[in-house]
Structure 1
Amino acid sequence: MKKLHQYIFFLFGSAMLFTSCDKVDHPYEKIATINLDTTLYNGLWSDYLENEYPTFTSNTNTKVNVLVEDYTGHTCFNCPPAADLAHAMHGNNPNRVFVASIHTGPGSLNYQKAYPQSPKFFTDHTNPDGVEYGETFKSGFNFLGNPQGTINRKFVGGEMFTITGTWQSRTDAIINANDLKVNIQSVFNYYSDANGGYLHVEVEKKTSDAIEMNTVVYVIKDSLVDWQKMPDNSDFEFYVHRDMHLGSIDNNPFGIPTFKAEAAAGDKKILDYSYVLPADLDITNMHFLVYVYDKDTYEVLQVIKQKIED
């Protein structure tokens, strides 16, 4: 993935920020700018801020969504049934359940080794962020091997990673509990001449609990046809790999600090990212997953899906 950039705003009441010849009221006070690529917009950046920058309305959502992280590999013969289950869970609840298929292993690339000189399994589906997850969770999180997954990275019975037989019940428990601690909404402005654009994310803390929160944006490829080891141990050339995790939008696997523990319920922050699509990535075959997690426990508190073009 190409180097990506990020741009962060924090929300403090109704502070005014950007001005031009005409007075422009903007509710966000800029605190820090980190390499936002303003050249993706074909025009004056002040015009973008005045005419293209989104205005977020009140977020009335009351529901907690679910991120299924399916840890997988292309030579793992037990992985296709797990992928089918994850995809079916999303299909049965497409607005609440989202999937990221992460090609890595617990502390190694078992089942995901690429063989460049071979006519099979020559594609390296890994990325540095996914590999770092494998290294981070290889001990202390019961990540024993593929296929295993996390459901909002929530610990149940002392375990974060779990086998496929518990994925649906864990998902149902989160959805039914609806313990909303943070809300997210987003907008992506795409410009075809730059083959990229700007992702704007509003995060609102909904709880008074002392939780330090980070925000992560996954880049997800909807589907890719390539080799896969199947449950009967055969090699299938035309397997459809779905919801492939390509890394994070800013190459930061553990995201941007968003709320300190002492942040009050009702506090809001804005995170802005610039993104250029890789040449081999089609806007009709990708989306973002934006999530906020508890920095201390890694638990995902909320996740939403953002398409490039709606």
Structure 2
Amino acid sequence: MTIRSHVLTAALAGLLALAPAATAGATATPTPPSSTHLQPKNRAAAQRIKVGRAATDILNAASTTVRTRVRGCDIKPGFDGTHTTTHDAPSPDFVNAIAALRRPATPAELAPAGGVEAILPGTTYADYRRNVTTASGHPLTIVLGRRKAVNVVFPARCLDAEHAEILKHLKGKPGAVRAKTLSIFATFRKGQEAGAKAPEKTVDGVYLFSDNAGGGGADFAYFKTHGAFGSIGGNDSSTVNGLVPDGVATVKLSYAKVVPRGPDYKPTVYPSAVTLTLPVQENVVSATVPRSAPDALDYRMIWLDAAGNVIDDVTQS
């Protein structure tokens, strides 16, 4: 069980470019607000953060020890890194939801793909790759795939070994650290027990890529109600790319001036709120947003049809 201590993540965010340090004798440029520069709200919050990080370090150390030293406990992720392609046809739901898939593929679209697309989990539908262009002229590529949703379950004896290792690390630690560590592990173990009972299944997914900039996507069931949106950029400006189902003519994205950071961190305050109204072309949109890459996905999204009627009010954060 590896725990990430960072408070925020973004599935499709690019690497964040950190602002350079000011040189001696120079005037420091104010750092743009972003999720990479978080400050505790107060002393109590700082203490809770400190306790949480200490718990995370102990859990990770115990997990590493068990996975490397206890036979049979080095459990691999459900996706082994193997990527394949197929000439099978995807589910009709795919084709009925995205207009670009219903036209013939061009020779370029049928050419063997590589690069970032080859890291997708599972299998991609080789005959259903489509190159599209947003209304703003930004080229994107739609890719369809399927993967097995495999539950990564650790044997009970491995969990027992990890619990014993955690107790070793907790000797002499403050009560708050002990309580936090054991609470997180108990939640993890409960999830493992539930995962052991869940059946494996094959999941369809839809992905969106930008040339030389990576991309990502979503399971198809999620896509139908939320679209597939991703961002890439730096601290103060990012590009948001999105794919939506048929029937959506306009995407309206609204960004708040104040972005909450949870109970322990001060909120981020941007110069102003931002609203973008993006026309959909070939099921895709793209825009530059004055936000960091993670914050560019913290929006209120509304879908409108060709007549300007609201189809759906999608909230993501």
TM-score (normalizing by structure 1):
0.24
Bigger radius of gyration, 1 or 2?
2
User: Larger % of helix: which?
Assistant: 2
